[in-house]
Structure 1
Amino acid sequence: MLSIGRIDYANVTPLFHALQEHFPCDGYRFTGGVPANLNALLAAEKIDVCPSSSIEYAIHSERYLILPDLSISSAGPVASVLLFSRVPIEELEGQEILLSAESATSVNLLRILMGKRFGHTCRYTVSSMPLAEALRTASAMLLIGDAALRSSLAETGLRIYDLGSLWYEWTGLPFVFALWFCTRSAAQSRHGEVRLLADRLVQAKAYADREREHIAAISPEASWMGREGLIAYWRENISYEMGEAQQEGLRLFYRYAAELGLIPVAPELHFFE
């Protein structure tokens, strides 16, 4: 049985719904979690395939193969990777920024933006405190996923910076937050199963694009985002594409991460065939 990791965020709801709606999934075992936890499970080979943090691939590229034509990315605002700040971002030099414990890629994207785009040297601390409590002492806090979406809907009086927007405005390229990849051991021992899943996921991507309204009507996230808000988020902010522009953006992210010492080297992109 192929073990598949599932990120417990609204950004992947359409794809997993389409997969389970249109294809038999009794041969799959799904494991839910936040990106940081799923990265650890994938690294330990406790799951075979996962939409996992793009930085995880960079750290252990020798362990994985990327499934083609799939990502979780944005070309502009992503809406669910947000820096909440008490002061303008230009004034964060030397300040403490708190980081979501759920994040991996977004943490490194923030470090790149602060260091290379704004020229800031900041102090970074991982925290699980609620936003309001956290910002009583720190100047800013990074939230991702549903926590970021929920906090952006509340009236906080804080400045909110979308990391997808900051990257796109600076580079002109999409940012790839997550890749679908499999362990090389699964690619070898279960090649046919992985190939079938990869084909189904590409088809599910097309179904998800056509069925947003139906999926939103039955998704639990609509209870707090609103049906129209959820549809707009999937349509305007989240992309599942992995074309040349996404690959170029990913390579640039890896190059900057290597230059700042966040990863050992910028890896080559090796795809499952």
Structure 2
Amino acid sequence: MLTIGRIDYANVTPLFHALKAHFPCDGYRFTAGVPARLNAMLAAEEIDVCPSSSIEYAIHSERYLILPDLSISSVGPVASVLLFSRVPIEELDGKEVLLSAESATSVNLLRILLGKCFGQSCRYTVSSSPLTEALRTAPAMLLIGDAALRSSMSETGLRIYDLGSLWYEWTGLPFVFALWFCTRAAVRERYQEVRLLADQLVQAKGYADQEREFIADAVPEMAWMGREGLIRYWRENISYELGGAQQEGLRLFYRYAAELGLIPHAPELHFFK
């Protein structure tokens, strides 16, 4: 039985909902968690397949294969990876920036944007404090996922910078926040099961695109995002594609991360076939 990691964020809800609605999933075991926890479980081979932080592939590319035609990405604003700041982003040089502990990809994207795009040298500290409390001691904090969405819906008086927008304005390319990949051990031991799941996920991607309105009515995120807000987020901010432009953006991200010493080297992309 394949064990599948499920990110507990609204950005991936449509895909999992469509998978369960259109395909028999009694042969799969689902394990929920935030990206950092699922990354660790995937590295330890406690789960077999997962939509996982794209930086995790760069760190352990020898352990994984990427499932084709699938990602969690954005072409411009992503709406759920946000830097909240009391000062303009141009004034953060030399200051402390607080980071979410939930996703290494977004953390490294912020380091690249501040370091290479804005030419700034900041001090970075991981924090689990609520936004209002955290910004009493530091001028800026990165939030991701549902926490970012919720905070952006509140009137905070803060400057809010969307990292998907900043990347797109700088590079002209999509940004790939997460890839679907599987462990090489799972491919060796359960190749046919991985192949079936990969096919089902690509089909589920199509269903998710067609059925946003129906999915919004059935999921708990509607209670706090509102039906139209949730549908708009899925339609305008989140993409599940992994075409040529996404792959080019991913390679550029890896190149910049390697140049800053955030990863050992920029890896080749090896796909499950």
Query: Which TM-score tier does this pair reach, normalised by the shorter chain?
Result: over 0.9
TM-score under structure 2 normalisation?
A: 1.00
Q: Which residue of 1 aligns with 2:127?
A: 127
Q: Which residue of 2 aligns with 1:95?
A: 95
Cα offset for 1:188?
A: 1.1
Q: Which residue of 2 aligns with 1:209?
A: 209
Q: Which residue of 2 aligns with 1:62?
A: 62
Distance 1:128 1:258 in 2: 27
Residues 1-273 of structure 1 aligned to structure 2 (within 5 Å): 1-273=1-273
Distance 1:47 1:113 in 2: 32
Distance 1:51 1:75 in 2: 18
Aligned length: 273
Cα offset for 1:172?
A: 0.2
**Two-structure CA RMSD over aligned residues (Å):** 0.3
Cα offset for 1:218?
A: 1.1
Distance 1:113 1:101 in 2: 18
3-state SS, counterpart of residue 42 of structure 1: helix
Distance 1:147 1:103 in 2: 12
3-state SS, counterpart of residue 65 of structure 1: strand
Identity percentage over the alignment?
85
Distance 2:95 2:84 in 1: 13
Unaligned stretches of 5+ residues in structure 1: none
Q: What is the CA deviation profile of residues 173-205 of structure 1, one whole-angstrom value per residue up to 9, with x for unaligned ones?
A: 000000000000001110000000000000000
Distance 2:198 2:5 in 1: 14
Cα offset for 1:103?
A: 1.5
Cα offset for 1:101?
A: 1.0
TM-score under structure 1 normalisation?
A: 1.00
Tell me whether 237-246 or 95-104 shows the greater mean CA deviation.
95-104
Distance 1:48 1:219 in 2: 26
Amino acid at match of 1:232: R
Q: Which runs of 4+ in 1 moved over 3 A?
A: none
Distance 1:138 1:237 in 2: 28
Amino acid at match of 1:125: T
Q: What is the CA deviation profile of residues 62-121 of structure 1, one whole-angstrom value per residue up to 9, with x for unaligned ones?
A: 000000000000000000000000000000000100001112100000000000000000
